[in-house]
Amino acid sequence: MPLSQLLWQHARREAPLECVGVLGGVQGADWEARVYVPLTNVDPLPSARYQADPAELLGTLRRWRGQSLELVGIFHSHPRGPAEPSERDRQWAAYPVPYLIADLRTEQLGAWWLPQGGTAEVTQV
């Protein structure tokens, strides 16, 4: 199944709460996502924010290291839109990878370099 379908399935399954997950792959001239791992949103206000379960995130990153995979993207949903980062999304961004945001209302997918906020080009997910 294409990764994009996995992202959208996860977002729809968790709605009306925000979902979160990570994309693993290889970084190079062109970053290539190969796997998607949904993570538990442990934020106290999951209807409006996300925070990946730290143990799940670290466990995933450790497993990937053994498979020669790297973190190449972070995905989360905005069930009521937009497909743009919130101020909190910018403030909490911690990894130098594209942040993909799904707007379930319009079914758009945005990609951003955070915290600076420039758009990231995603050719295929």
Sign of CA dihedral 85, 4, 8, 23: negative
Identify the active-site residue in 14, 18, 87, 121.
Answer: 18
C-alpha Rg value of the chain to the nearest Å: 13
Both tokens assigned to 27: 């970084």
Distance of CA 84 to the CA centre of its chain: 12
Q: Is 18 a catalytic residue?
A: yes
For residue 29, give the DSSP letter. S
Q: Which residues are catalytic?
A: 18
